[in-house]
Amino acid sequence: MSNVAAAYRATEGSILDIDRDFYRRLAQEPDGRKLITSHRVPIRDGLAWEVPAGHIFRLMVTQGPQVGDLNLWNLHNPRERFWASRTRQLQRAHVSTFDRLWSTLPYLRPMATIIDDSLADYGIDDEGGRVHDLLGTRCDPYVNRLLSGEDFDFHCHSNLVRAVLPYGLDERDVHDVLNVFQCTGLNDDDQYFMKACPARKGDYLEFFAEIDLLCAMSCCPGGDLSVDLWGPEAADPLQTCHPLGVEVYAVKDDLLESWSPPAPAPYKGGHGLQRPQIDWAEIKANNANSGQ
């Protein structure tokens, strides 16, 4: 393991320097929350749901190991959405407790903070695999056609497209994902690999919504990823597919006394662009000379 310092580091008091005690209390006080909605994401399908700011949502393995692909948007402004690559830089390539999911420019603020993770102790396995992946992105029918020569309509990209249509969004709004419960890494040739999902029934990943969110998750058609999806060993992984669960909780007011939704990034500059300088006196004189 390299001991080179991370490029993006928090300074005291910055938005990266989070109050861990606050998020720890949210996770550890079961009487501080109330279940308000629960959902089931069927196999090879997607689901979209809303989470108000200041609420908790939990993604759950309800039957057997299963990978999910998560997207987030600002409920009121879908141009602000989850930015996987910047999250990877500001946090880690594989996220867990106290990591945050960040939004796109020009907003750049935490959309959700992970407050609990039943797989937090998975660490790094013997092959360099870790869970909750930001290295890769969703499977999609376009890549599948290139690799297999066949069309398949229930990849994560397509599942997410169907899920968000009722909210007025479309394929262009679906974006890079957090691969929940997915175990991945880079091999010796610096190539992306996926391993069988280590999650089991009862495992979960829990988030605190920092702003009003529209969430969508695909139940990956690859199931637990124990079967190769492409290449000479490819096979239909249907038998490895299981549904996923979602729960949304309201948080008691007294636990939120020290919290307020984060504002968008305060940068107000003009990106070096100069506004045209208007000489109103010259314009007035020219108008007078022309009789206007």
Instruction: Decide if 124 is inside a domain.
Output: yes
Instruction: Decide if 114 is inside a domain.
Output: yes
Please state the domain count of the chain: 1
| pLDDT of the residue at 291 | 63
Walk across the sheet containing 56-61 and list its strands: 33-41, 244-251, 56-61, 204-209, 110-117, 100-102
Q: What are phi and psi of 132, to 5 degrees?
A: 60, 80
What string of pLDDT tens digits covers the 292 residues of the chain? Answer: 678 988 888 788 788 889 999 999 999 998 999 999 999 999 999 999 999 999 999 999 999 999 999 999 999 999 999 999 999 999 999 999 999 999 999 999 999 999 999 999 999 999 999 999 999 999 999 999 999 999 999 999 999 999 999 999 999 999 999 999 999 999 999 999 999 999 999 999 999 999 999 999 999 999 999 998 888 888 888 999 999 999 999 999 999 999 999 999 999 888 988 777 777 777 777 777 776 5
Residue 282 neighbours by CB distance under 10 Å: 9
Instruction: Give the closest residue to 179 by CA, choosing from 121, 229, 222.
Output: 222
Instruction: Decide if 1 is inside a domain.
Output: no
Instruction: Decide if 262 is inside a domain.
Output: no
Residue 56 neighbours by CB distance under 10 Å: 24
| pLDDT of the residue at 230 | 81
Q: What are phi and psi of 161, to 5 degrees?
A: -60, -50
Question: For residues 251 and 56, is the Cβ–Cβ distance under 8 A?
Answer: yes
Cis status, amide bond into 106, omega within 30 of 0: yes
Instruction: Decide if 127 is inside a domain.
Output: yes
| pLDDT of the residue at 286 | 74
Instruction: Decide if 289 is inside a domain.
Output: no
pTM as predicted: 0.92
Identify the domain containing residue 217 by its residue range. Answer: 20-252
Instruction: Decide if 56 is inside a domain.
Output: yes
Instruction: Decide if 278 is inside a domain.
Output: no
Angle 116-122-128 from CA coordinates, rounded to 5°: 135
Question: For residues 251 and 209, is the Cβ–Cβ distance under 8 A?
Answer: no
